[in-house]
Structure 1
């Protein structure tokens, strides 16, 4: 089965999804969740859909539990603070560690005052199985780029599969349909969390309901869903 990247197909544990021996020497391949390297082969270690974005491969199922992977954008909830870092719940088997200086403009005299329960949008910098992942609210160039505390708004959970679909390209149909009629902010973490904020609570509820109910619908059905919700809100 190995030899090609085989993106967007269903794989089972043990399936060979990539042959590293046949890989171009100047190409870097990053492995995400659900995959493991076995000598010159990349093997699936869980069932799901094999996805490929730029140089990254991962297997995405519809599980609720998130397995951290480097470069993932995630939404975390602060549960405690230590001297040099915040402890962050990522809906994962282990807590994430977010250094107090890993925010844009942060200094020893200007540290974000994040209380227990604060919501943050960050990036996984390092991740190893059974070890707390290292997080940052800076991109690879050291800029905020949208990362940081998420103030106010509404946070809800979904499957990791839906979360990745919302982040996909082209724009997920339900977001495209909502954006044509409503003004709102959204942040999506691949760890199965979505944050929505708008000027009107009714808009926030409508957007959240549309997203939650879109997972098993086709693009056309998602557009119909949004139209029905908009009509019901009038």
Structure 2
């Protein structure tokens, strides 16, 4: 049975299954394509390796969005990791993937041997995946592409919880997803979302942390209108 091969744009935001051909590279000369989770290159085509919805982040990053607990690392993903061990040259970090990730001790803005971060086991880190393949441990960095710390590094206080990878991508979507937009109009809070299915929330009061966390968890199966209605209901109980 041959794989389906519609025009590239036709499958964006539509459901795909393993083996679907989503891009024909012979029709996309002089373009650089970035592949995320659920996609692989086979000669001159890009095919899916998992079921879900094909997504496009302009100008040129494609991935398959699926609501699953398992995370497959992909280069440029932002992740929330937990330090599980320290070595002379690396921190070993759990990012919910098949293997532990390496975070080099110098992968921080201005990092030198004289100012290596002191992370204890259990420290929560917001990082970027810089290397990922099926035969090696992923490598992380706490710098953006320009070498700046940006938002990356240790996350202190707050509350971290697990979600599906699909919910994580929804929270990072543009424009701002309804649940975060509705919460942001009424509450003050900080949030960091990892594409590996982890979310960190911090707020001035524990009750606000609980409301924001519960709203996010409940939002996955709701429409935009449903998300806003659910947030209003939670906020009424808070007042």
CA-CA distance at 1:131 after TM superposition: 1.4
Q: How does 1:160-175 map to 2 (within 5 A)?
A: 160-175=165-180
Are positions 1:4 and 2:8 aligned together? yes
Give the conservation status (yes or no) of the 8 Å contact 1:93–1:130: no
Shift of 1:33: 1.1
Deviation at 1:24, TM superposition (A): 3.0
Find the counterpart in structure 2 of residue 46 from structure 1: 50
Q: State how far apart, in whole Å, the 2-side matches of 1:42 and 1:156 are.
A: 33
5+ unaligned residues in a row in structure 2: which ranges? none
2:144 is aligned to: 139
Q: Which residue of 1 aligns with 2:101?
A: 96
CA distance in 2, matches of 1:205, 1:112: 30
CA positional deviation for 1:130: 3.4
| CA distance in structure 2 between the partners assigned to 1:87 and 1:32 by the alignment | 23
2:62 maps to which of 57, 66, 76:
57
Q: What residue number does 1:151 align with? A: 156
Count of aligned pairs: 233
Please, what is the CA RMSD of the aligned residues?
Answer: 0.9
Question: TM-score scaled by structure 2?
Answer: 0.95
Q: Write out the 4+ residue segments of structure 1 that deviate beyond 4 Å after TM superposition.
A: none
108-117 vs 208-217, which deviates more? 108-117
Please report how far the alpha carbon of residue 2 of structure 1 lies from its aligned counterpart in structure 2 after TM superposition: 3.8
1:16 aligns with one of 12, 21, 34: 21
- Alpha-carbon distance, 1:206 to partner: 0.4
Equivalent in the alignment of 1:130: 135
- In the alignment, which residue of structure 1 is the partner of 2:39? 35
Q: 1:84 aligns with which of 89, 95, 113?
A: 89
Q: Does the CA contact (< 8 Å) of 1:154 and 1:196 recur in 2?
A: yes
Deviation of 1:112 after TM superposition, in Å, equals 1.2
Instruction: Work out which of the residue numbers 173, 183, 189 in structure 2 matches 1:184.
Output: 189
